[in-house]
């Protein structure tokens, strides 16, 4: 059964916001584009889902860019969500293979590293950007994002992210949720939400049994009055294009241009999506002449 990737936002009368993201197709796409190992799929899938949950209101076409720069062997994990519904990402060492944890689970924390920094860049509709940073607390991605939200944005949040990788390395489930208390939320309601969340169990197992995520908010906000605010499909998309690559080439220093002209063609690969662009020598000559006129 194929489920469409999506984000759904809910709000309750008790001043609690819940966002649920289903990202299996996006994580699968990333796996295929970058030939990700299982642990790299889990780390990047979690990070991209986190980016979706942190991105702003779709009406404002906001975006967020996350970079988990840990001291683990996976290197940095990059995840972007732009226009609130397009997602892309990559990791420095996509084929990293490390032993499973003692409990048989993928060791995301061991891959990302438990020390380092999380950088969060927010893009607003006015094209202004703000970057802030927090220390990584566990390298598990969700906890790192929750710590960031609390310390840098002063929003107490519960965030849960999970990716289930099948034996054939395909993505069986991917998604997560974000719960935030709006100002004025009562402690007893938050305690109830916390108890409700424990009923879900591990998010990865939950999503493998309920891949559409439609009932998650009902469990989290059980016993409360809530409504769906809006929902939106999500898709894997990169911002790279032949024109952008050409712009990069045109902006090179004259000496670098000269050097490129010695080659029969120029090949560039987009690190975000793996797309390969080949610019022929003739095209390059035309391009560089165009700049001078």
Cα gap 33→47, rounded to integer Å: 16
- Neighbouring residues of 1: CB distance < 8 A, sequence distance ≥ 6: 211
Nearest distance in Å: CB 27, Zn ion:
17
Nearest approach, Cβ of residue 272 and Zn ion (Å): 4
Smallest gap from residue 146 Cβ to Zn ion (A): 29
Using rule CB under 5 A, residue 273 touches Zn ion? yes
Q: Which is nearer to Zn ion, 17 or 88 (CB)?
A: 88
Whole-angstrom distance, CA of residue 279 vs CA of residue 113: 38
Binding to Zn ion by residue 272, rule CB under 5 A?
yes
Per rule CB under 5 A, is residue 240 in the interface with Zn ion?
yes
Per-residue tokens: 226: 């809530």
With respect to Zn ion, which residue has the nearer C-beta, 77 or 164? 77
Strand partners, 122: 64, 130
Q: How far is the CB of 238 from Zn ion (least distance, A)?
A: 3
Alpha carbon 211 to its chain's center: 18
Name beta bridge partners: 89: 79
By CB under 5 A, tell whether 270 contacts Zn ion: yes
The b/e string for 129-138 (b: 16+ C-beta within 10 A; e otherwise) is eeeeebebbb
Instruction: Select the residue interacting with Zn ion from 112, 238, 245, 249 (CB under 5 A).
Output: 238
Q: Are 284 and 268 in contact, with CB atoms under 8 Å apart?
A: no
Q: How far is the CB of 82 from Zn ion (least distance, A)?
A: 12
Helix H or strand E encompassing 110:
helix 108-112
Contact region with Zn ion (CB under 5 A), list: 27-35, 119-127, 159-167, 232-240: 232-240
Among 275, 277, 283, 287, binds Zn ion (CB under 5 A): 275
Comparing CB distances to Zn ion, the nearer of 40 and 240 is 240
Residues that bind Zn ion (CB under 5 A): 238, 240, 270, 272-273, 275
């Amino acid at each position: 059964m194929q489920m469409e990737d999506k984000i759904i936002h809910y709000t309750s009368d008790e001043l609690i916001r819940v966002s649920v993201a289903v990202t299996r197709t996006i994580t699968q796409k990333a796996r295929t584009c970058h030939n990700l190992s299982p642990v790299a799929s889990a780390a990047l899938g979690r990070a991209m889902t986190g980016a979706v949950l942190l991105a702003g209101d779709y009406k404002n076409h906001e975006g967020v860019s996350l970079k988990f720069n840990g001291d683990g062997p996976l290197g940095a994990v990059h995840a972007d969500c732009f226009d609130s519904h397009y997602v892309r990402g990559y990791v420095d060492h996509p084929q990293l293979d490390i032993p499973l944890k003692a409990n048989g689970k993928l060791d995301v924390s061991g891959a990302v590293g438990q020390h380092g920094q999380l950088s969060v860049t927010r893009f607003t509709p006015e094209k202004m950007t703000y970057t802030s940073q927090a220390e990584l607390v566990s390298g598990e991605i969700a906890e790192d994002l929750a710590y960031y939200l609390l310390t840098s944005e002063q929003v107490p949040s519960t965030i849960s992210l999970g990716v289930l990788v099948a034996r054939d390395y395909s993505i069986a489930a991917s998604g997560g949720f974000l719960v935030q208390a709006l100002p004025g939320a009562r402690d007893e309601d938050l305690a109830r939400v916390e108890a409700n969340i424990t009923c879900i169990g591990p998010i990865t197992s939950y999503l493998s049994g309920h891949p559409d995520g439609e009932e998650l908010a009902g469990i989290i906000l059980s016993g409360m009055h809530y409504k769906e605010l809006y929902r939106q499909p999500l898709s894997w998309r990169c911002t790279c294009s032949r024109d952008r690559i050409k712009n990069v080439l045109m902006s090179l220093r004259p000496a670098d241009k000269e050097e490129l002209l010695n080659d029969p063609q120029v090949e560039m690969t987009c690190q975000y999506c793996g797309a390969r662009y080949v610019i022929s020598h003739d095209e390059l000559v035309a391009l560089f002449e165009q700049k001078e006129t």
